Amino acid sequence: MIQEILIDLFGNEIVAFIISAALPLVFIVPFVIFAVWLERKVSAHMQDRLGPMRVGWHGVLQTVADFIKLVQKEDIIAADADKKMFILAPIMVFAGSYAAYAAFPFSSAYIGSGVDVGIFFVIAISSVVVAGLLMAGWASNNKYSLYGAMRSAAQIVSYEIPTALVILSIVMVTGTLSLAEMSELQAGGFWNWQIFGGAETGLVKILLIPFMIIAFIIFYISSLAEVNRTPFDMPEAESELVSGYHTEYSGMKFSIFFLAEYANMFAVSAIAAILFFGGYQSPFGYIGDLLGIDWLVPFEQLFWFAMKGLFFVFVQMWLRWTLPRVRVDQLMTICWKYLIPYAFVNLIIIGLITLI
Amino acid sequence: MSLKTEELTLNMGPQHPSTHGVLRLEVVLDGEVVVEVRPHLGYLHRCFEKHCEAMTYPQVIPYTDRMDYLASMYNNFGYVTAVEKLMEIEVPERVEYIRVIMGELQRIASHQVAVGTYGLDVGAFTPFLYLFRDRETILSLFEMTCGARLLYNYMWVGGLSHDLHPDFLRKTKEFLEYLKPNIDEINNLLTFNKIFIERTANVGVLPADVALNFGATGPNLRASGYKWDLRRDDPYSIYDRFDFDVIVGEGLVGTIGDCWDRYYVRVLEMKESIKIIEQAIEQIPEGDITTALPKRVKPPKGHIYHRVENPKGELGYFIISDGSVNPSRVKVRPPSFVSLSAINDMSKGHLVGDLVAILGSLDIVLGEIDR
């Protein structure tokens, strides 16, 4: 819809598409600025302290100040680093996480690229991040960075399996790979969300609920691992690897890694929201519909989408500041010995239920 | 076909977030598995022992503060009791009680840092700040008494620098009441957390006989199941008047002497220290603290070895006096130094992440190792 409006406005398809493609950036940058502030505030309040209080009201502008500081910093490239790869790595990591946003339906009116295989595209493109991390670790020519990169590659590749299995079970129920269609299917109130059995009725719906909850838990755990958040923050494990693959990065390049990390956090939260919690659908209905104002509905949908994403981002922060970190081998044990078998069994059961 | 592999040498430190100071560990790694650990010391060496020879006896006290800077009170305690023993000074009852109260408060503070930073080592950030919040109150109590928060120079040969503040005992009682539930909170938050147990149980096991051979003391030895506490086994000051338990590791979630045991012994010792302080507050007499202060600290010719149960273990002072105002030789037996020597044996075959957990569980302070 937005695309059509833009084409009308500029009369040129290429310009319209470029602007349309840049729209998620308008969302990501303020989101990251907000999320970094939120993370600091959440951690501070959990730890019985105040957190940033000086820059703006309760420190809301702290991230902006930090960003300005980071931009001013000297951009150091270590003498023995592989310069080209070193420079390319943060761009690649960010590109990977940004590209995933193309397939997200922010509301019924806006989707960056309405690919029919949306979820498949997201899984595929987010793997580019791994290549970026490996490049960063290898190019830094630092043993800590290398360890961080190796860990993160092993971790992300492993945890993609349970994630994919869970997504597969959702795809079986909905019969579509398109994220926009998945969101549409869950319209009409929270009882139609996938976690509550979706738009099915009767026995199938009731039978689906427990297995959908299991599927969601598996998905959420593996998504934590995919974005390297505690308790699975092995690649950055501060007390072991200093800060893993981005040890050698400073200034702007470091802040791009940072941006990508928070963008990723929202990306996996958004996928969780789309798959299980109705995507952009409101849990109750729309004020726009009630008042008969049509243009209000997409904005409300954007609001709900952001809220659901933010909620899961908050849960990620909550876990981060509560739990210790697991060990490398335990991380793999959790994935291969527990999550994958459970996800498989869950997949089969959900498949059987949908046959009823 | 076999791939050629080789071991990798990784320098951990001297600038590293989890070496607890400026320690350098030269780690030989096979993939993520530790093959050998070689600690390199000396980054914080300040020639303490040699320096003492140019100082008068009271001038040494501020230097003892700077050894184990997380337990300065107890370093003072050990040194002044050693010199008093050499000079055969009897200090007033009140002084003894104040020293015990201060020493045990310091033990709680030191264990709080140990437990908190251990959480940090395994990736739990929040308990660390909870414990530091509580430790702050102890530091404020010290500040109230002697004006300093970290390096006190509070205990003098034959007495103390200041008597207690009139509010001290009341505030200490309030603090202990406040602290008790917080220790249980830490247990809920960290000690019995499944991930924490997975990380620390059966990791870095130090059997009692190995611990004894290395000469490990304090919580590290007790965690191995060996009941040895100088406060009970070789009582100094007035420790024989108090009723408290010597905590030993029981292998509650793993093997006796693993990282979890070393951690948990410290948590429980905080509770025992609370018991001792409560009894001391009950019994403390009124009186003058200055009566035994010597005009001039000039011990007779001779030598002495005196040891106290520092929060980290057995802290011993060996002092040779040639009858002048300067000690002829001061030698310290630092508990952290001895504990650190066991790290290679403990961490062989474990992963890098475990090495961090093992190092943290030993609770070393580099100021004391290097002196």
Indicate the SS3 state at residue B9: strand
The answer to whether residues A42 and A80 belong to one domain is no
Q: Judge if A56 and A106 occupy the same domain.
A: no
Domain boundary among A14, A45, A72: A72
Q: Name which of A237, A242, A324 is nearest B196 (Cβ-Cβ).
A: A324
CB within 8 Å: B354 and A327:
yes
Q: For residue A237, what pLDDT is reported?
A: 66
Residues A212 and A123 in one domain: yes
Break chain B down into helix, strand, coil percent, rounded to 5.
Answer: 50, 15, 35
Could you give the number of structural domains in chain A?
Answer: 2
Range list of β-strands (E), A109-205: 110-111
Confidence of residue B188 (pLDDT cuts 50, 70, 90): confident
Domain's final residue, options A72, A104, A136: A72
- The answer to whether position A314 is within a domain reads yes
CATH 3.30.460.10 fits B8-369, yes or no: no
**Residue B163: CA atoms inside 13 Å, Cβ hemisphere, count?**
13
Residue A115: DSSP 8-state: -
Residues A219 and A301 in one domain: yes
Residue ranges of chain B whose CB lies within 8 Å of a chain A CB: 8, 10, 16-18, 32, 119-126, 129-130, 133, 189-190, 193, 195-196, 198-199, 351-354, 356, 360
Could you tell me if A55 and A92 lie in one domain? no
Kindly state whether residue A13 falls inside one of the protein's structural domains: no
In chain B, which residues have their Cβ closer than 8 Å to the Cβ of A238?
17-18, 123
Residues A55 and A126 in one domain: no
Inter-chain touch A239–B356, beta carbons under 8 Å: yes
Q: Residues A285, A321: one domain?
A: yes
Neighbours of B318 (CB within 10 A): 16
What pLDDT score was predicted for residue B318? 92
- Residues A268, A181 share a domain: yes
Q: How do the pLDDT tens digits run along chain A, 356 residues long? A: 666 777 777 777 777 777 777 777 888 888 888 888 888 888 898 888 888 888 888 888 888 888 888 888 888 888 888 888 888 888 888 888 888 888 888 877 777 676 778 788 888 888 888 888 888 888 888 888 888 888 888 888 888 888 888 888 888 888 888 888 888 888 777 777 877 777 777 777 788 888 888 888 999 888 888 888 778 877 676 667 777 788 888 888 888 888 888 888 888 888 888 888 887 887 877 777 777 777 777 888 888 888 888 899 899 888 888 888 888 888 888 888 988 999 989 889 888 888 87
Task: Give the pLDDT band (50/70/90) at residue B108.
Answer: very high
pLDDT digits (tens, 9 = 90+) for B251-268: 888 888 888 988 999 999
The string over B185-213, giving b where at least 16 C-beta atoms fall within 10 Å of a residue's C-beta and e elsewhere, is ebeebbbebebbbbbbbebbbbebeebee
Q: Are residues A57 and A105 in the same domain?
A: no
A63 & A103 share domain: no
- In the structure encoding, which two tokens stand for residue A180, read together? 């926009």
CA distance A206 to B338: 63
Tokens at B236, concatenated: 């100094």
So what's the pLDDT on residue A285?
A: 74
> Looking at the structure, do residues A65 and A165 belong to the same domain, yes or no?
no
Measured CA distances, A144 to A236, A250, B70, B222 (Å): 9, 16, 30, 35
Domain membership flag for residue A12? no
The proportion of chain B whose per-residue pLDDT surpasses 70, expressed as a percent, equals: 100
In a mutagenesis test of the B interface, which of A325, A331, A334 is the best target, namely the one with the most B β-carbons within 10 Å? A325
CA dist., res. B137 & res. B168, Å (int): 12
Chain A residue numbers touching B199 (CB-CB < 8 A): 324-327, 330
Provide the H-helix boundaries in B66-167. Answer: 72-87, 93-121, 126-146
Residues of B in contact with A46 (CB under 8 A): 126
A147 to chain B: closest CA residue: B32
Statement to judge: residues A47 and A93 lie in one domain: no
Residues in chain B closer than 8 A to A330 (CB atoms): 198-199
Q: Which of A57, A72, A87 is the last residue of a domain?
A: A72
Q: Which residues of B touch A323 (CB under 8 A)?
A: 123-124, 193, 195
A16 is a domain residue: no
pLDDT, tens digit, 9 for 90 and up, residues B197-234? 888 888 888 888 888 898 888 898 888 888 888 888 88
Could you tell me the residue range of the domain that residue A60 belongs to?
25-72
Q: Is A335 a domain residue?
A: yes
